[in-house]
Amino acid sequence: MKPKLLTATAVLFVIALIIILKFILSASPHIYKKSEFLMDTVITLTVVSNSEKRADEAIESAFNNLRRLERLLSFFDAGSEVSAINKNAGTGAVKVSPETFELTKTALEKAELSCGAFNPAIGPVMGLWDFKNKKRPADSELNKLLPLLDYTRIVLNINDSSVMLIDKGMLLDLGGIAKGYAADRTVELLKRAGMKGGIAAMAGDIRVWGTRPDGSPWRVGIRAPRGTSDDLIGVLSLEDLAVSTSGDYERFFIEGGIRYHHLIEPTTGYPAGDFQSVTIVNPEGVVTDALSTAVFVMGREKALRFIKKNKLMAYLIYADGTTYTTENLRALFDNR
């Protein structure tokens, strides 16, 4: 071969190599991620995709759907369907979207399952606890409102997709279950958009699907309750599972050495005292969210019986800092 021809062949070869490499790199799956403040918390969506464009579009439509769900389910937004149900307590049934109906129905099922430890009628008492201004209610005020926490007086009518609170003053609060539900809906949407794997993380309510690009499981940290928000006490390796942690460090104040927090025992109206945090793992986020709240509120003895009976995967941190991991979770859990 002549030297000129040799040089031209070499140049062509290098160009072809660059094109092939670029193609391989762009076709190999990558991780794409975006966070937004929504539902009173930071939500981070992570997806595995071969295409940045498709990943961006899928994440955007998932956030749009989350904004829509927030507008339906928020306790604080005066225009939400939950607020409409609450404003009509004692006066009338409110026709709602399939999502609000479905989630209220699931919340009532979890209330039954947990013998009322999970209580979506907790609203009136929640309103008395002012964590921002570190003010706790007087016992007389609390006791007056306890009769309004009867979740059996939340009535669903499947025929016209309506919800009614029978007594004036009742307040539906789906705050203990809505983020897990939103994680489920988000994963469903992202899967439909062709995303092969990822994480829908709504603060303490997280659902993962598929694997990381190298085929390994997703790793989800569990917070050390008395550390900073970056301190982990353990890490779970998860594929196609949801995990929720309910902790006494999320919204709280300390007065006279006692920690008052946002997980309320419905029979007393006071924060539940036996745990620092409760973590539940299950295929569905709506289940992990409701049951991490429920188990936290039950207290130690009932919680252990409930976990055993329902074969739950659980990681408990007791009030004294000691921990318990159920047998069925040990293979997925790395202690730090």
Contact residues for ligand AMP, defined by CB under 6 A: 118-120, 122, 126, 173, 175-176, 204, 246, 250, 262-264, 266, 289, 292-293, 297
- Strands 205-209, 242-247: pairing kind: antiparallel
Cα separation of the two ends of the chain = 64
Closest approach, Cβ 126 to ligand AMP, in A, equals: 5
Closest approach, Cβ 182 to ligand AMP, in A, equals: 11
Nearer to ligand AMP, 106 or 246 (CB): 246
Cα–Cα distance measured from residue 75 to residue 171, given in angstroms and rounded to the nearest whole number: 9
266 binds, among ligand AMP, Mg ion, none (CB under 5 to 8 A by kind): ligand AMP
User: Is 284 an interacting residue with respect to Mg ion (CB under 5 A)?
Assistant: no
User: Is 279 an interacting residue with respect to Mg ion (CB under 5 A)?
Assistant: no
* One character per residue 175-194, x = contact with Mg ion (rule: CB under 5 A): -x------------------
Six-digit token pair at 260? 């008052």
Number of residues that bind Mg ion (CB under 5 A): 3
* Contact stretch for Mg ion (CB under 5 A) within 110-118, 134-142, 262-270, 284-292: 284-292
Contact 148, 124 (CB under 8 A): yes
Nearer to Mg ion, 83 or 119 (CB): 119
User: Is 173 an interacting residue with respect to Mg ion (CB under 5 A)?
Assistant: no
91 Cβ partners below 8 Å, 6+ apart?
168
185 binds, among Mg ion, ligand AMP, none (CB under 5 to 8 A by kind): none
Q: In what order do the strands lie in the sheet with 154-157?
A: 94-95, 162-165, 154-157
Nearer to ligand AMP, 51 or 310 (CB): 310
Closest approach, Cβ 116 to ligand AMP, in A, equals: 8
Give the DSSP H or E segment for 130. Answer: none
Judged by phi (left if over 0) then psi (alpha if -120 to 50, else beta), residue 222 lies in beta
User: Is 114 an interacting residue with respect to Mg ion (CB under 5 A)?
Assistant: no
The number of angstroms, rounded, from the C-alpha of 144 to the middle of its chain's C-alpha atoms is 31
Tell me which residue has tokens 């299950």.
282
320 burial class (0-12, 13-18, 19+ CB within 10 angstroms)?
A: exposed
Residues of the shown chain interacting with Mg ion in the complex, contacts defined by CB under 5 A: 176, 289, 293
